Structure 1
Amino acid sequence: MLDSLEKPSLDRPETIQDIAIKLVEEQLRIFQLENGPKERTVFILGSKGVGKSGIINKFFDREENSRPTLALEYSFGRRSQLPQDLHKQILNVWELGSLENSNQLIEVPMRSHGLTNFSVIIMLDLSQTNRIWTDLSSALQGLRSAYNRLANGSEVIQHREQSEERVKKTHPDLGTMDLFWFPLVIIGGKYDIFQNFDPEIKKHVCRCLRSISHSLGAALVFYSNEIPKLSKTVRDTISHLGFGSPTNPFRSHSYDYNEPLMIWFGQDSWDKIGTTPGNFETIGINFETHIPQVQPTKSILPDDPTFDPGFKETAIDEMRAQKDEELLLIMKQGDIRGKFETIKT
């Protein structure tokens, strides 16, 4: 309801109506904080090396340098809902390092915290246009498989209802959309590189991402850690998914492929995109005719991270060294005992 109210302009004094709108918004915010869920989960997955760890570190105000995520990494944050409230909201953040061979790993965040207050961010590398659909397909298929294994019938019905409310049940395209079960935000990373690409390539990429986001009822935003406005929008989006505020992290919407896209849940349409309704298969086929995609390949196992200085943990490394020495001693003793028994026989 509040979205339809006119926002006060910056170049005129506030009117009584403007003040009333602010009061209502503040009351709504307090109501949501008091009655909202106490614990939520955000699961971040997507292209390798796109900056997933970076946005998590920025959100939690960590100064540490990002290092490659090998499998799954878990972080959490807490904050008071209101100044006088002793109960804290808890945000669980899971990050998947690689989409390859990740089916079982994708289930872990869902099993650990349940599907009730679960949100997903899929982050794609815009600088590698020949991997965009490959990575997106892999992420979506993994999420679908895990959800189908874990969700029961009543949860599916409830999530469908919530998805329709998220995009608005009055949306004219609702009948042509294949809505995702929980809040899904697609982030196009490395926009600072992508913005310099050929206009035709940008047009096809933006049309594809807008189409699939609209079909799934997802939000879509482009991101670069080099552009403060985009960094703040992504930070606010994680805060919205995790804590429920700000209520409107996208202060404006952008649909122009010459600009960073910024489209909230239910704010796009097939007419705006300029295409006929499509599903997952047709959108992918159309995109690949213009920008061929590389096929998924089997991953090469990385070097043992215990020898990587980037993963150094002094206490753990010392304990590991001690256990290695103990194991080596046991192996030597076993070898000597075996030789002695051989001689006896």
Structure 2
Amino acid sequence: MPKLSTDTLWELAAAEVHTRENGTREEDGGEPVSERTVFLMGSKAGGKTSILLRCLERDEPSKPTLALEYTFGRRARGHNTPKDIAHIWELGGGTSLSDLVQIPISTNNIRTLSVILILDLSKPNALWSTAERLLLEAQTQVQKAFSQVERVRKVQGGGKQQASVQPAARVLPKDYPDRELINPFPIPLLIIGSKYDLFQESDSEKRKVFTSIKSETLMSKTKTFFSHLAFGQERGKVVSCDTSKPLIIPAGSDSLSQIGSPPSSDVDITSLHARNPLDLWKKVYEHVFPPESTSARLELKDPAKDSQYIEPQIDAMRAQKDQELEQYKRDAAKSWKGLELES
């Protein structure tokens, strides 16, 4: 929608809403420009920022993510063509700040949103619980956003039949072999196993999973998947199911029958009483990699108390202000006691 100099504030706001709902806008030449949103979350200090910088081809040192951070990327489709835009959110702190997913996952971008979950393969004992917690939080917020959009659609439709806002790409084909056994994530989801260079040094029987920024081949594959989600480029057709190598499994390219039963020689699978194949894999996985204790998994809610965000000058000033606040509270308490005695 071309913007004229005579547009009022309300007209500009309406154009912005149109842009967000349709995921495209038009530059001065009138050619549509795609706008997508990508939300990165995952293991604490799992390499999310490093992977993102490589995908965006930014040559700068990575810094610890403080809570929730935003950036964007632009990429042209070809010579002399408009640049598509990717709005990128990154959640720090592992699972400790998972309630912040409600900010990047909203009704404004739900139609063009993708999620990237990055899991630290060098810390397998925390991997499954991290994935489970973050995916549950994200899926709950996604469903909430879809429900809100659906309610607005019905109100605006005035009772008329309109197409559902649920993405058609998320609907499984009727002949998909695992249709009744799985609950697919409602929006595009990419799961990356980071620090593969550290993981591959572990016991060969425990190596079954994906990327390292130190491997240019793996990083190239990661960039391809990222560009597909962020800029709509071709996903590529590479598939690798060899567990002796990094796995590359595009959505829909495998099935539970192909995956088979969990490889475990020191546990009786029939005694695990699993409800479904995923539950069986979880029980065997946790047998090989016992989950961390509750106390070990306890993470700080306040980033200011997290050791990875240490800033000596700021922390010293904060400590001074905290002392001044405590002193003020004590003085105020004495004043109130004096007033009570006088009365």
Return the TM-score normalized by structure 2: 0.65
Cα distance change on mapping 1:171 and 1:123 into 2, 3 Å: farther
In the TM superposition, residue 86 of structure 1 has moved relative to its aligned partner by 5.0
Alignment partners' CA distance in 2, 1:330 and 1:252: 64
SS in structure 1 of the partner of residue 246 of structure 2: coil
For the residue of structure 2 that corresponds to 1:134, the secondary structure is helix
Counterpart for residue 216 of structure 1: none
Report the CA distance between 1:161 and its aligned residue.
2.0
Question: Which deviates more from structure 2 when the two are superposed, residues 222-231 or residues 329-338?
Answer: 329-338
The runs of 4+ residues in structure 1 deviating greater than 6 Å are 306-309, 323-342
Match of 1:291, SS state, is: helix
Q: Separation in 2 of the partners of 1:334 and 1:313?
A: 30
Deviations 1:264-312 (A, max 9, x none): 1211123322359xx9954134332353331573634388749979665
User: Which one of the candidate residues 226, 244, 254 is aligned to 1:238?
Assistant: 226
* Aligned mate of 2:114, from 90, 111, 119: 119
User: What's the CA shift for 1:326?
Assistant: 11
Match of 1:31 in 2: none
Distance 2:219 2:292 in 1: 31
| Matching of residues 202-213 of structure 1 within 5 Å | 202=207, 205-206=208-209
Pair 1:336–1:291, CA change in 2 (3 A): closer
* Matched residue count: 283
Change beyond 3 A, Cα 1:45–1:280: farther
Structure 2: give runs of 5+ residues left out of the alignment: 1-30, 151-162, 263-273
Considering fraction of residues, name the structure with more helix.
1
Give the CA deviation at 1:183.
0.4
Q: What's the % identity of the aligned pairs?
A: 26
Task: Classify 1:142/1:84 alpha carbon distance in 2 versus 1 (closer, same or farther; 3 Å).
Answer: same
C-alpha separation in 2, matches of 1:172 and 1:65: 41
Distance 1:309 1:37, change over 3 A: closer
Deviations 1:75-96 (A, max 9, x none): 3224254443456524333324
Moved more, 152-161 or 42-51: 152-161
Shift in alpha-carbon separation, 1:183–1:268, aligned structure 2, 3 A: same
- 2: distance between equivalents of 1:175 and 1:303? 41
- Aligned residue among 191, 196, 200 for 2:196: 191
Aligned to 1:48: 44
Residue number in structure 2 paired with 1:14: none
1:165-216: CA deviation from partner (whole Å, max 9, x where unpaired): xx7x3763252342211001111112112223333323xx55xxxxxxxxxx
**Distance change in 2, residues 1:198/1:171 (3 Å):** farther
Query: Aligned residue for 2:9?
Result: none
Contact 2:41 2:118 in 1 (8 A): yes
1:161 is aligned with what amino acid? A
Query: Using a 3 Å threshold, how does the CA distance of structure 1 residues 149 and 286 change in structure 2: closer, same or farther?
Result: same
How far does residue 65 in structure 1 lie from its aligned partner after superposition? 3.3
Aligned mate of 1:284, from 279, 288, 291: 279
Q: How does 1:10-89 map to 2 (within 5 A)?
A: 37-38=34-35, 40-60=36-56, 61-67=58-64, 69-70=65-66, 72-79=67-74, 81-82=76-77, 83-86=79-82, 88-89=84-85
TM-score (norm 1): 0.65
Contact 2:146 2:165 in 1 (8 A): no
What secondary structure does 1:175 align onto?
A: coil
Opposite residue 200 of structure 1, the aligned amino acid is E
The whole-number CA distance in structure 2 between the counterparts of 1:181 and 1:328 is 48
Amino acid at match of 2:205: E
In structure 1, the residue matched to 2:213 is 225
| 249, 252, 266: which one aligns with 1:266 | 252
Give the Cα separation in 2 of the matches to 1:98 and 1:307.
12
1:227: how far off?
A: 0.9
SS of 1:223's partner is coil
What's the secondary structure of 1:172's corresponding residue?
coil
**How far did residue 45 of structure 1 move?**
1.2
Which of 176, 190, 193 is the matching residue for 1:172? 176
Unaligned stretches of 5+ in structure 1?
1-33, 207-221
Kindly provide the amino acid, as one letter, of the partner of residue 48 in structure 2.
K
Amino acid at match of 1:73: L
Question: Within 2, Cα distance between the matches of 1:178 and 1:144?
Answer: 11
What SS does structure 2 have at the residue aligned with 1:93? strand
Q: Given the alignment, which residue of 254, 258, 267 partners 2:240?
A: 254
CA distance in 2, matches of 1:198, 1:341: 71
When residues 175 and 301 of structure 1 are mapped into structure 2, their CA distance, relative to the original with a 3 A threshold, is: closer
Partner residue of 2:96 out of 90, 96, 100: 100
Note closer, same or farther for the CA distance 1:329–1:129 as it changes in structure 2 (3 Å cut): closer
- Change in Cα spacing, 1:55 to 1:120, as seen in structure 2 (3 Å) is same
